[in-house]
Amino acid sequence: MPGTAALAVKYKSAKPAELERRTDLTPEFVSTFVRKGVGIMPPFRPTELSNDDLKALGAYLARNPRAR
């Protein structure tokens, strides 16, 4: 898979943090990547992922996992 190979090169075969464990994600960051796409990831239209669901996803991923 191109994405998997690119991550292996980027992280020098070390496993990157899972999305749920990242501390640098903001709702706006998540929304931008989901709506515009990145690399080979296509954009997701509101008909595929509603604005409300995207907002909830951004809030979930932006929470501080260390606060759990």
Whole-angstrom distance, CA of residue 54 vs CA of residue 15: 26
pTM: 0.67
User: Six-digit token pair at 34?
Assistant: 């989901």
Whole-angstrom distance, CA of residue 43 vs CA of residue 50: 13
> Which pLDDT band holds residue 31 (cuts at 50, 70, 90)?
very high
* Domain covering 18-67 in this structure, CATH number: 1.10.760.10
Q: What is the pLDDT of residue 68?
A: 41
32-66 confidence digits (pLDDT tens): 999 999 888 899 999 999 999 999 999 998 885 55
Ranges of each domain in the chain: 18-67
Whole-angstrom distance, CA of residue 56 vs CA of residue 1: 29
H or E stretch covering 64? none
pLDDT at 27 over 90: yes
Report H helices in the chain.
2-10, 27-36, 51-62
